[in-house]
Structure 1
């Protein structure tokens, strides 16, 4: 694996990569605050786990709903504003959680966190794309993804460590994480405004058909100004006229459903299905995120060397294989732990490939919106997977539940094959920068 090209990144590109990777880590910490202490929260607020599940679902729903508005903000106004706003709202939401006197306030905090977290992908990817070149963008995306996986793994460690100190509770842990997020927001905005070129911070604008007829310096304003409703209609029309991006969003949804199904129930499977000790099963989840972070880096290097689409197909074929092995119950407990780690992490190989495809298929002025579409797919999968596979496991057992996850993972392979079959090699191999052929590659 060669990351030598990252060592030669221009200073501005290195600054952008550092800023958005840190933001990715912080935002992913916001996403997994509840799971390590669900039992504690249920007792303190006198609610059921199902009720807390509703609160987590509300966060995911709001996160999904605000992807496109943040994408519009990033593409139309300012990426630094979007980055700072998402960090501030997430930090404020976490502080509300820390101080929540009732479950209703806990729900308010979750909604605020969901709104804030919604802005990080629509701001991160356009910044990364404009600050880097296509030759190393897959590696850059993988470093960004690595930081996000560290963010997923950090809250259980931080929360348990703080709660182990006499006199400190989960509220102090949440408060520390929220304060960290707000401090990072200030740092990120300051550094971005000071050291990141305006050409990277500001959105890329392309002339529409009407504007193209006028000279670049024209001040003619006689034409009607589109209404807000008209602009929304235009955005929707443009989106519907971008089938490749919609297909990539669907791919992200199916992949996320499979991976979040594994993440949600792998500990329970190992404990109840394979008789693995509880502490070992929980550690397996942490190891899974760690190995996934490594796979993310490997995937970034492979994405810059080979075609993205085959890498996606191979990674999810491996997910299917290892999840089917788990569902078969033919493995001894130790082998099941190994299969769980690999099956739950090898899908990360494909994340940089998916992100690079989204970049390839985007005109420069729609990067925020297009990455928002991909993230909507991810978030819908995250929302659907727990109740879907939870019901299957409760009604039909682990064998059927995990076999169903394997079928969904195999669906990713089928979908990427169908996409390549429809649009040809141009979708599966590295293409020229879309800025040179924006219309063709975005349609």
Structure 2
């Protein structure tokens, strides 16, 4: 009888077989799609919770912050926990916990219950980015397709963001929010079962001899710090722009339904951008791609300010492509700055920075907008994004110094 390796802590040895790589990519993509969808569907449910429980805007912010704070704060602990309990176990458990959170939310009778449920959901979600990213990266190590695989993994996350909240929004026309939350919980539990079956059992033993022959030359710590800073700025600008884009469109005379269309066009371009920029980075070079897309994003933000509404709608997919595409290239660079044994930890640091930047930037730009207007707030975002150019040069030097 072969030894049951699925019950042991993971080994980060490379996977030799193409079938094993595909299964790992499928597992990582499934985790990313479901977790990102369960994270963003909160935006659909917040107005319903406000009406059901008479919540203030501050309490609404508390609900969103409870989920995001737990997700950001426990990513590093998730990477450490994987060393003790195994990557597969922790990723499956985190996905099940995210589903359980919605089952609990469906039973909520007030704010405290909802906050506790969302804290549990954020705790479960904290496992996805560091563990699933490292799973995909390790699977494609040595294949020459690591960055393309991570681009596909990131693309799956955007699909989840679009599909799960969209279907939930349609379902809420026919069922109660409680029934909707129950279905979301079942989705999370079903995804956990799917991950348990998808993650290759042979990952713990395949390529063990190959691992001994590897000579690892990770990039410099300064380059890694620049990479995390770039990811933090990129995520912060993206979240800040998405937060205040509706208000910019209102200034241009857009109605609520027009704003929805603009966001749909932007997200469509963003989903394609994740995939396209990942492949572009593998050909043009990741650092060159990052610098080009960040500068293009800054220019497009400024262009969005001056264009009239209908002209802006035409370029909205391009804005989405540049705005979202860079993140897949940045995520693909993480394996270049870490040894295999520290990959979960470094991914955790990277995603803690990006989630933290996405949480802080809207508050900063909101304060500027309160004092100087939305337009000046968006100009500030474009200026912040230009800081990624010297950071990109630091990343390049860090790679050369490996």
Relative to the length of structure 1, the TM-score reads 0.80
Aligned to 1:348: 324
Task: Say yes or no: does 1:186 pair with 2:193.
Answer: yes
Which one of 181, 190, 205 corresponds to residue 174 of structure 1? 181
Larger radius of gyration: 1
Residue matched to 1:98: 106
Give the 3-state SS of the residue equivalent to 1:101 in structure 2. Answer: coil
Aligned ranges 1:378-417 → 2 under 5 Å: 378-417=354-393
How many Å separate the matches in 2 of 1:253 and 1:200? 35
CA-atom RMSD, angstroms?
Answer: 2.4
Shift of residue 134, structure 1, vs aligned partner: 4.6
How many Å separate the matches in 1 of 2:244 and 2:25? 33
Matched, 1:147 2:126: no
Map Cα deviations across residues 77-115 of structure 1 (whole Å, 9 max, x no partner).
Answer: 411012102101111112222221101111111111111
Equivalent residues of 1:74, 1:122 under 8 A apart: no
8 Å CA contact retained: 1:38, 1:49: no
Moved over 6 A (4+): none
In 1, Cα distance between the equivalents of 2:341 and 2:105? 36
| Residue among 229, 244, 247 paired with 2:223 | 244
Q: 1:367 aligns with which of 343, 352, 360?
A: 343
**Structure 2 CA distance for partners of 1:205 and 1:388, relative to 1, 3 Å:** farther
Q: Counterpart in 2 of 1:198?
A: 204
Structure 1: 5+ residue runs without aligned partners?
A: 1-8, 207-240, 428-440
Q: Say whether the 8 Å CA contact 2:24–2:198 is kept in structure 1.
A: no
Counterpart pick for 2:147 among 129, 132, 138: 138
Look up the match of 1:256.
235
Give the superposition deviation at 1:184.
1.2
Aligned partners of 2:74 and 2:126 also within 8 Å: yes
Out of 408, 423, 426, the residue aligned to residue 400 of structure 2 is: 426
Q: How many angstroms apart in 1 are the aligned matches of 2:77 and 2:96?
A: 17
Aligned-pair CA distance for 1:150: 1.0
Contact residue 152 and residue 289 of structure 1 kept, 8 A? no
Q: Which runs of 5+ in 2 are unaligned?
A: 1-16, 213-219
1:140 aligned counterpart, secondary structure = helix
Of 285, 293, 296, the match for 2:263: 285
Query: Hey, what does 1:62 align to over in structure 2?
Result: 70
**Cα 1:245–1:77 shift into 2, 3 Å:** farther
Q: Is the 1:24–1:120 Cα contact (8 Å) retained in structure 2?
A: yes
Q: How many residues align?
A: 378
Whole-angstrom distance in 1 between the partners of 2:281 and 2:81? 29
1:88 paired to 2:96 = yes
Per-residue CA shift, 1:188-235, capped at 9, x if unaligned?
113326x54324799x999xxxxxxxxxxxxxxxxxxxxxxxxxxxxx
CA offsets per residue over residues 98-153 of structure 1, 9 Å max, x none?
22110111111111111111101121122112211351111111111111001111
Matched, 1:307 2:316: no
Contact 1:75 1:366 in 2 (8 A): no
Aligned to 2:7: none
Q: Partners of 2:245 and 2:367 in 1: how far apart?
A: 15
Q: Whole-Å Cα distance in 1 between the matches of residues 229 and 102 of structure 2?
A: 30
User: 1:106, 1:49 → 2: CA distance?
Assistant: 15
Normalised by the length of structure 2, the TM-score is 0.88
Aligned to 1:119: 127
Deviations 1:38-96 (A, max 9, x none): 33221211112232112212221111110111111234541101210210111111222
Q: Is the 8 A contact 1:84 1:188 kept in 2?
A: yes
* Higher mean displacement: 20-29 or 294-303: 294-303
Per the TM alignment, residue 281 of structure 1 is displaced from its structure 2 partner at its CA by 0.8
Equivalent residues in 2 for 1:20-59, closer than 5 Å: 20-59=28-67
Match of 2:8 in 1: none
* 8 Å contact from structure 1 (residues 257, 385) kept in 2: yes
